[in-house]
Homo-oligomer: A and B are copies of this chain.
Amino acid sequence: MGHGGGGQLSAELVQHLFLPSFGEAARTATPTDAHVLTLGNGVRLAFSTDTYVVRPLFFPGGNIGELAVYGTVNDLAMSGAQPLALSTGFVLEEGLEMDVLGRIAAAMGAAALKAGLQLVTGDTKVVEHGHGDGVYINTAGIGVLPAGADIRPDRARPGDVVIVSGEIGLHGIAVLSLREGLEFGTELRSDTAPLNHLVAAMLAACPDIHALRDPTRGGLAASLCEIAETAQVGIEFDERSLPVPEAVRAACGFLGLDPIHVANEGKLVAIVAPDHAEAVLAAMRATDVGGSAAIIGRVVEENGGVVVARTGLGSTRIVDRPLGEQLPRIC
C-alpha cells in the first residue's frame, strides 16, 4: 500500500521501476506535477494525469468526482497552466448504482464549469463485483502555459519566501474521520477546490513565480522535501506560522499524526523571490481560496536538500517525507 501513498516509496517506485523499465521512451526529468510539451510553433502545453481511488466516494465537502476534476486541474496549475480540456476514464464495479454514478458525473460537470474547462473524451470499463470499489476515476488534462511562465521546483533559490495558500490538513482529516467514524466536535470539510484561478491571480501580480506545488498525498512535508531535494536548497519554516485549524490540530493530536503529513486538496505552496512576496500574498488573499494565505518560511543556502522546522519551543527538527502513506486511499 505504501507505494501508492505519494511518499518516499512512491518516489522510489518511479525512480527504480518505472523510469528504467520505460527506458528511452520515458521523459520525466524533474518531479513536476505536469509535463510541459513545446509544440513546433512555440505553444507550450502542460499535460498531467491522476487516478482517484478515494474511499468513501462521498465525504464532507466533496466526492470522488470533484477530486478527479480539481486534482488534475491543480496539477496543471502548478506549472502555471490554465486548463483547456480533461479526459475521463472510469472503472466501474459491477452493481454500482446508476444513481450514484449520475451524482458523481454531475459533480464532475459542475467542477469542470467552475474551473472553466471542457470534458472532451472518455472511456468506461466495468469489472466484476468485488474487483473494484464502486468506481475508480482517471482524469488527464491539457492546459496552456502563459508566455514567460517558468515554474519548476528546481527554481527555488536561497532567499526565496515560502507561502502557503491557506489552512492545512482539512482533506485528510475529513476523509479519515468519516471512514473511521470519528468525531472531533466541529465537522471538518474537505478543502477540495480548483486552484487555477488563484494561480492566474498570482501570475498577474508576479509573472516570475519560481515554484508551485499542491500538497496533496504526503502533505506539506512531501511538497517541501521535493522542492528542497530537486533544487538542492534548504527550506526552513516556523511551525507556529502554519495555518492549522484548531479541529485539525485536535484530531492530529488524538490520532498521533503530524498536520504537515496530512493530505490537502485545494491548497498550494509557492516559492517566490522576496521582492515579490508581498504582492503575491496580497493577490492571493484577494481570491476566495487564498484568503488565509501566509508566509511560513524561506529558502536557505545551508542544509541543501533538507527541510527544517522551527518548533514552538525554539528548537529545530528535520522534516522527513513520509515513507509510505499515513492515510491510504485518500484521493
Contact = CB atoms under 8 A, between A and B. Distances in A.
A209 interface: no
Nearest to A141: B140
A324 to B, nearest CB: 9
Contact of A84 (B3, B37, B101, B125): B37
Interface stretch (A21-29, A156-164, A274-282, A308-316): A21-29
Interface string A1-35: 11111000010011001100111111110000011
A247 interface: no
A303 interface: no
A91 B91 contact: yes
Report whether over half of chain A's contact residues are helix, strand or loop; otherwise say mixed: mixed
B140 A3 contact: no
Nearest to A71: B123
A74 interface: no
Interface string A125-169: 111101111001010101010000000000000000000000000
A109 interface: yes
Nearest to A107: B21
Interface in A95-133: 98, 101-103, 105-106, 108-110, 112-113, 117-128, 130-133
Given A125-B51, A131-B131, A144 B39 contact: yes
Interface in A47-61: 47-53
Interface string A37-50: 10101010101111
A177 interface: no
Contacts of A23: 106, 109-110, 113
A22 B119 contact: yes
B89 A138 contact: yes
A292 interface: no
A63 interface: no
A263 interface: no
Given A3-B126, A28-B120, A37-B84, 19 more contacts: A2-B126, A4-B124, A13-B124, A17-B105, A23-B106, A24-B109, A25-B118, A25-B119, A28-B122, A35-B87, A39-B144, A47-B87, A49-B121, A51-B90, A51-B138, A52-B125, A91-B136, A125-B136, A140-B140
10 contacts: A4-B92, A18-B122, A21-B102, A22-B112, A23-B109, A28-B122, A37-B84, A47-B85, A91-B91, A125-B329
The 10 closest A-B pairs by CB, nearest first: A4-B126, A140-B140, A21-B105, A25-B112, A49-B87, A138-B138, A22-B109, A35-B120, A51-B89, A23-B109
